């Protein structure tokens, strides 16, 4: 039983959703059938004044469709699921008595679609309340009436603004948009619903402006142009959503529902949909990741982290402190430089202020979060702190000195963590009397936007410390991936060769915008040359040299960045790098003075070869990562690269994309590059073996980690179903700050000892 009915003396019938054995309410076939049975009974009853849909879950109304239902379903079964949803929600809409959705908590996807089928909607002011239709982020469209009813309710431009972006609205913005009809505090939700029932049935009307077909056509045309410009045509779902929504505005509801169904069935067969759904399930997998039973031995002192100290108030330290405080933990932010500490606190205040403007927090919530941070610039005892995260400069000697001092200042059970993006965890821990208490927690910049955290286990990191770090990352709402202490860990290890190869192309005479355009067209959120400028070329030079020294199969680097840094060209922060970065405006033309780094005559090459050089070098390195056991499975690689770099989600990640190409084809192309370009393209042992055995990374016999499910049609691991997605599709989700760094590059490969 997922829906219970209760009737009150005033004739109000309340249908309460409460999925048994789950923290979330979702729509599956059984729940839809159950709702249909309740509605069929209500159609025949007299004395009912109105119907209220409510939830027994404290933070969730209905989180969407059960995506697990897509796993084994063929096209006929999927069509039946769409038809069932259409039939049940239309029956709700046609009830002879008014209906109200009383929304408290998450109301997404199918949850919002059933609410749209009601006559009225009221939402609580609780922070957990979010309304949205995120289906296009999964490669499909809202197909239980959302693409038809939403444009009729709020107008085509506003509907497309929600559907195309997957944006989730709090109650007040949803009220302003006309998506809901009232807001109230959770305890008054049913009272407000009863007031809405008194209005009777709602007349179905479309917004006048967009009901005229010429206006709808103009809105749709502009939306298509914007989507193509933003996605470069890689994502078919947003374009199909525009088509269906625009047609629905002036058409009867049954026609709109028929278009939804046809579009959904077309999209769900696409590789983009399969890959985006895989990304969603990888996110859910990360939320539930656990250490092997042999390693999961948490001490009571680390099983619950309440007090955190962050050492270093720079960009990363301030970001970590802000995010942690926003999750209810007390944070001490320490920096020996009072001016740096003041700048860090100012940056935190700005993040909170922006979050208030975007209605992520109320002003009291933001104020409370800020109050949980205690800035410190003097030596104080940290014996009562459960976790210390070091975010000092990316230099081994500095980090070692910080931890020498920390070990004396903290308690015996305090976890010590470093936010290093590339340095050896074991080398940092070598100065500690108890090196087993150090773990890597590599956050990505900007911390308040990037979900991924690499948890790096040093060779001496204890299971208890690793478990404590994992529980902390999950508790603050980040998505973890566990990596072995190896040069570059996971993300930087794979991305570095790509960045270096991009600069090689530049030194061969390929213009920076052309290099970036190739990778943008491939699906990366930012081109490698622009990324180098965003990172900072001085930081890039330092990290690249360090990783070249420690990587087992490095791409050779040279002194190009060194020359640029010597000129004061540090990238965006200095206003000049591979591009010019004016203080005002977004236009960034290429740096005309960088031509001295390029030959007078460029080396002949074609776009396909250039693309192979940048993409296949990442696949080759990703295969080495698995070969060396840096992570446990191909899922870890693809998840880390998508969430940490924005790696073309519609392609599913580097290893899923590799399976699309086939190992034999990858090996063939790499061997061509060895012959024509440089020996470092030589395919690794794992790729050669896979090519010989004609298998892929995701084949059952190629699995290297636990928890794989290769029997399902869409290759989706089983998780608790919900439609709450945050998949980085386009620009804005790529790596920034102290991340993977492009290497210095010489005028010729011969200068670096490469033929």
Highest mean pLDDT pick, 58-72, 422-436, 537-551, 573-587: 422-436
Query: Quick one: 47 exposed, middle or buried, by C-beta within 10 A (0-12, 13-18, 19+)?
Result: exposed
Sequence ranges of the domains in the chain: 3-269, 300-485, 492-752
Q: At a CB cut-off of 8 Å and minimum separation 6, what does 371 contact?
A: none
pLDDT of 351 above 50: yes
401-441 pLDDT, tens digit each: 999 999 999 999 999 999 998 899 999 999 999 999 999 99
Q: Are strands 438-443 and 452-457 parallel, antiparallel or unpaired?
A: antiparallel
Residue 620 has a pLDDT of 97
Find how far residue 354's CA is from the centre of its chain: 20
Domains 300-485 and 492-752 in one fold: no
- Say how far apart CA 258 and CA 255 lie, in whole Å: 5
Mean pLDDT across the stretch 221-242? 94
Reading the block at residue 361, the tokens are 């927090």
367-410 pLDDT, tens digit each: 999 999 999 999 888 999 999 999 998 889 999 999 999 999 99
pLDDT of 658 above 80: yes
- Confidence band, pLDDT 50/70/90 cuts, at residue 205: low
pLDDT of 4 above 90: yes
In 10 A of CB 37, how many CB atoms?
A: 12
pLDDT of 705 above 70: no
Residue 750 has a pLDDT of 29
- Say how far apart CA 612 and CA 664 lie, in whole Å: 15
Tell me the DSSP string of 340-404. Answer: HHHHHHHHHHHHHHHHHHTTSS-HHHHHHHHHTEEEE-S---BTT-SEEEE---S-HHHHHHHHH
- Architecture per CATH, domain 492-752, reads as Orthogonal Bundle (1.10)
Helix, strand, coil in percent for the chain, rounding step 5: 50, 10, 40
Residue 71 has a pLDDT of 67
Q: How open is the CA angle 465-469-472, to the nearest 5 degrees?
A: 140
Q: Are 439 and 457 in contact (CB under 8 A)?
A: yes
- At 59 the three-state DSSP class reads coil
Reading the block at residue 604, the tokens are 């002949």
pLDDT of 262 above 80: yes
Q: Are 184 and 169 in contact (CB under 8 A)?
A: no
Q: Where does 300-485 sit in CATH, by number?
A: 3.40.50.720
Q: Are 442 and 422 in contact (CB under 8 A)?
A: no
Q: At a CB cut-off of 8 Å and minimum separation 6, what does 8 contact?
A: 14
Largest separation between any pair of C-alpha atoms in the chain? 89
pLDDT of 127 above 60: yes
> How large is the C-alpha radius of gyration of the chain?
27
Residue 94 has a pLDDT of 96
- At 493 the three-state DSSP class reads helix
- Confidence band, pLDDT 50/70/90 cuts, at residue 717: very low
Q: Which residue of the set 442, 542, 581, 680 is catalytic?
A: 442
Number of H helices, E strands in the chain: 29, 18
Distances (CA, A) of 246 to 135, 204, 213: 17, 17, 9
Mean pLDDT across the stretch 143-159? 95
Residue 204 has a pLDDT of 65
In 10 A of CB 169, how many CB atoms?
A: 21
Q: At a CB cut-off of 8 Å and minimum separation 6, what does 447 contact?
A: 316, 319, 320, 322, 323
- Say how far apart CA 346 and CA 361 lie, in whole Å: 18
**What's the per-residue H, E or C state across 638-677?**
HHHHHHHHCCCHHHCCHHHHHHHHCHHHHHHHHHHHHHHC
Q: Give yes or no: 442 in active site.
A: yes
Q: Are 158 and 169 in contact (CB under 8 A)?
A: no
- Say how far apart CA 166 and CA 160 lie, in whole Å: 9
- Say how far apart CA 118 and CA 105 lie, in whole Å: 17
Find how far residue 32's CA is from the centre of its chain: 30
Q: Are strands 120-124 and 12-17 parallel, antiparallel or unpaired?
A: unpaired
- Say how far apart CA 428 and CA 635 lie, in whole Å: 29
Q: Which of 207-211, 488-492, 511-515, 550-554 has the lowest mean pLDDT?
A: 207-211
Q: Are 128 and 59 in contact (CB under 8 A)?
A: yes
Q: Where is pLDDT greater, at 296 or 753?
A: 296
Reading the block at residue 722, the tokens are 């919900």
Fold topology of 3-269: 2-enoyl-CoA Hydratase; Chain A, domain 1 (3.90.226)
């Amino acid at each position: 039983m997922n829906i219970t009915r209760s009737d009150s003396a005033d004739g109000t019938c309340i249908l309460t959703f409460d999925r048994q054995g789950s923290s979330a309410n979702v729509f599956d076939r059984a729940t839809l059938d159950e709702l249909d049975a309740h509605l069929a009974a209500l159609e025949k009853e007299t004395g009912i004044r109105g119907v209220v849909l409510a939830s027994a879950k404290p933070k969730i109304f209905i989180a969407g469709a059960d995506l697990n239902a897509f796993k084994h379903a063929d096209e006929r079964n999927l069509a039946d699921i769409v038809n069932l949803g259409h039939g049940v929600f239309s029956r709700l809409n046609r009830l002879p008595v008014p209906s109200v959705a009383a929304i408290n908590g998450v109301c997404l996807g199918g949850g919002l679609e059933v609410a749209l089928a009601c006559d009225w909607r009221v939402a609580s002011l609780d922070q957990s309340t979010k309304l949205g239709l995120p289906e296009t982020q999964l490669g499909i469209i809202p197909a239980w009436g959302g693409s038809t009813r939403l444009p009729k309710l709020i107008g085509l431009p506003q509907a497309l603004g929600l559907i195309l972006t997957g944006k989730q609205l709090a109650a007040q913005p949803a009220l302003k948009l006309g998506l809901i009809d009232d807001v109230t505090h959770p305890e008054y939700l049913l009272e407000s619903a009863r007031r809405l029932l008194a209005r009777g049935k709602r007349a179905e009307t479309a917004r006048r402006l967009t009901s005229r077909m010429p206006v709808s056509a103009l809105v749709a045309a502009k939306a298509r142009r914007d989507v193509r410009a933003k996605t470069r045509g890689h994502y078919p779902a947003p374009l199909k959503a525009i088509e269906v929504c625009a047609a629905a505005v002036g058409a009867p509801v049954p026609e709109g529902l028929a278009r939804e169904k046809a579009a959904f069935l077309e999209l769900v067969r696409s590789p983009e949909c399969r890959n985006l759904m895989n990304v969603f399930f990888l996110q859910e997998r990360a939320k539930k990741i656990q250490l092997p039973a042999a390693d999961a031995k948490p001490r009571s002192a680390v099983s619950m982290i309440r007090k955190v100290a962050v050492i270093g108030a720079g960009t990363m330290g301030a970001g970590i402190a802000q995010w942690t405080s926003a999750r209810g933990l007390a944070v001490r932010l320490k920096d020996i430089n009072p001016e740096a500490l003041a700048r860090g606190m100012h940056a935190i205040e700005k993040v909170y202020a922006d979050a208030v403007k975007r209605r992520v927090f109320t002003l009291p919530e933001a104020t409370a979060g800020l109050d949980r941070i205690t800035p410190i610039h003097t030596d104080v005892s940290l014996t009562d702190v459960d976790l210390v995260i070091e975010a000092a400069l990316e230099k081994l000697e500095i980090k070692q000195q910080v931890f020498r001092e920390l070990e004396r200042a903290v308690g015996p059970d305090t976890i010590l963590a470093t936010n290093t993006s590339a340095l050896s965890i074991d080398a940092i821990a070598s100065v500690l009397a108890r090196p087993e208490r150090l773990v890597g927690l590599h956050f990505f910049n900007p911390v308040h936007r990037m979900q991924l955290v690499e948890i790096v286990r040093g060779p001496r990191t204890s299971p208890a410390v690793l478990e404590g770090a994992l529980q902390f990352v999950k508790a603050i709402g980040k998505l973890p991936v566990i990596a072995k202490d190896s040069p570059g860990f996971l993300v930087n290890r794979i991305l570095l060769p790509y960045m270096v190869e991009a600069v090689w192309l530049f030194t061969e005479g390929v213009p920076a915008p052309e290099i970036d355009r190739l990778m943008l067209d491939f699906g990366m959120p930012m081109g490698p040359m622009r990324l180098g400028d965003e990172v900072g070329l001085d930081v890039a030079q330092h990290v690249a040299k360090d990783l070249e020294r420690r990587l087992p199969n490095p791409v050779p680097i040279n002194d190009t960045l060194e020359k640029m840094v010597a000129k004061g060209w540090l990238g965006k922060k200095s206003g000049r790098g591979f591009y010019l970065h004016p203080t005002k405006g977004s236009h960034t033309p290429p740096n005309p003075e960088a031509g001295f780094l390029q030959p007078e005559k460029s080396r002949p090459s074609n776009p396909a070869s250039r693309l192979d050089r940048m993409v296949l070098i990442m696949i080759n390195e990703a295969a080495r990562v698995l070969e060396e056991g840096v992570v446990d499975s191909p899922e870890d690689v693809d998840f880390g690269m998508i969430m940490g770099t924005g790696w073309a989600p519609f392609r599913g990640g580097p290893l899923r994309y590799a399976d699309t190409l086939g190992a034999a084809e990858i090996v063939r192309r790499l061997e061509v590059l060895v012959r024509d370009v440089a020996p470092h393209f030589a395919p690794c042992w794992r790729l050669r073996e896979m090519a010989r055995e004609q298998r892929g990374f995701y084949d059952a016999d190629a699995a290297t980690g636990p928890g794989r499910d290769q029997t399902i049609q869409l290759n989706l691991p089983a998780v608790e179903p919900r439609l709450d997605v945050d998949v980085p599709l386009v620009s804005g989700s790529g790596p920034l700050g102290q991340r993977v760094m492009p290497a210095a590059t010489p005028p010729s490969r011969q200068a670096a000892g490469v033929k």
